Amino acid sequence: MKKHIEVSLESHVATVVIDRPPHNHVNAALIGALADIFEELDRDDRCRAIVLATGGRVFCGGADLSGDKPLTTNTGEAETPILYRNAVRLFATRKPIVAAIQGAAVGAGLGLALVADFRVASPEARFSANFVNLGFHAGFGISHTLPRVIGVQKASLMLLTGRRVKAQEALGYGLVDEVVPAERLRDAARALAGEIALAAPLGVEATRATLRGDLAAAVERQTQHERAEQDRLMATADFHEGIKAVAERRPGNFIRQ
């Protein structure tokens, strides 16, 4: 999966670009490859901050839930626990991360955006935790990380309605730190990362570790709970209806079964 990820390093800022068209959907292998790269950058003293970006018009459309057996590996095994273990590795990264977000950050795509310390978005960006529309439970640690960033009330609004939040509204939520024109998106993200990289790296890493506390461990605990709820709900008729309804762009006909 590293073939879908490009890395460059300039002026102590690493730019990591996921390019898996058309929607940059994530799976366990892709998140594992991304975690490998982040860990490599952790060991590289030339890198003091990371910009996380994606190619195309969509930041990340989430996990691929198409087919009869969603969230399974090529061998038919459930890949969700592998994906979540790799997600925890992302949260354990020591270097500060700035995400450059264009288009949709949906489901696991929102979870990926929340790995970052800061989010710079284009006006076209939109954020959605649409799990309930799928008859599903939030994953990727979102039920912990989203309220941590925007507060319980706003997070509840997003998680219980599945509504889309556009960039300017997300700025008001505190979910986004800057909104800039699309043509300036990566430059603005690199500028913020560059500002971080100008500071003393040991001081930055120590301060960041204090601010984040036991975030990686908390995400690990939360994903265990999320996975149990997802496994339970994936066995319901409502989940299968939700997948079908979202694919057909219509409201679900849920029956509480």
Instruction: Tell me the per-residue pLDDT of 81-124, one tens digit each, with 9 for 90 and over.
Output: 999 999 999 999 999 999 999 999 999 999 999 999 999 999 99
Q: Contact 56/204 with Cβ under 8 angstroms?
A: no
pLDDT at 76: 52
Structure tokens at 20: 């898996």
- Exposure string over 84-110, b if 16+ CB within 10 A, otherwise e: bebbbbbbbbbbbbbbbbbbbbbbbbb
pLDDT digits (tens, 9 = 90+) for 140-184: 999 999 999 999 999 999 999 999 999 999 999 999 999 999 999
pLDDT at 2: 80
Q: Which of 137, 155, 162, 143 is nearest to 227 (CA)?
A: 137
Categorize the per-residue pLDDT at 30 as very low, low, confident or very high, splitting at 50, 70 and 90: very high
pLDDT at 67: 46
CA 160 to chain centre: 18
Categorize the per-residue pLDDT at 79 as very low, low, confident or very high, splitting at 50, 70 and 90: confident
Residue 127 to residue 105: CA distance in whole angstroms? 5
Strands 118-121 and 97-101: parallel
Categorize the per-residue pLDDT at 66 as very low, low, confident or very high, splitting at 50, 70 and 90: low
The β-bridge partners of 114 are none
Q: Is pLDDT of 70 > 60? A: no
The β-bridge partners of 10 are 13
Q: Which of 105, 145, 97, 142 is nearest to 122 (CA)?
A: 105
Range scoring the smallest mean pLDDT among 15-24, 70-79, 101-110, 140-149? 70-79
Residue 236 to residue 37: CA distance in whole angstroms? 37
Q: Is pLDDT of 196 > 80? A: yes
pLDDT digits (tens, 9 = 90+) for 35-58: 999 999 999 999 999 999 999 999
Write the DSSP symbol of residue 184: G
pLDDT at 248: 93
Categorize the per-residue pLDDT at 212 as very low, low, confident or very high, splitting at 50, 70 and 90: very high
Residue 5 to residue 18: CA distance in whole angstroms? 5
Residue 249 to residue 70: CA distance in whole angstroms? 18
Q: Is pLDDT of 75 > 70? A: no
pLDDT at 89: 98
Categorize the per-residue pLDDT at 65 as very low, low, confident or very high, splitting at 50, 70 and 90: low
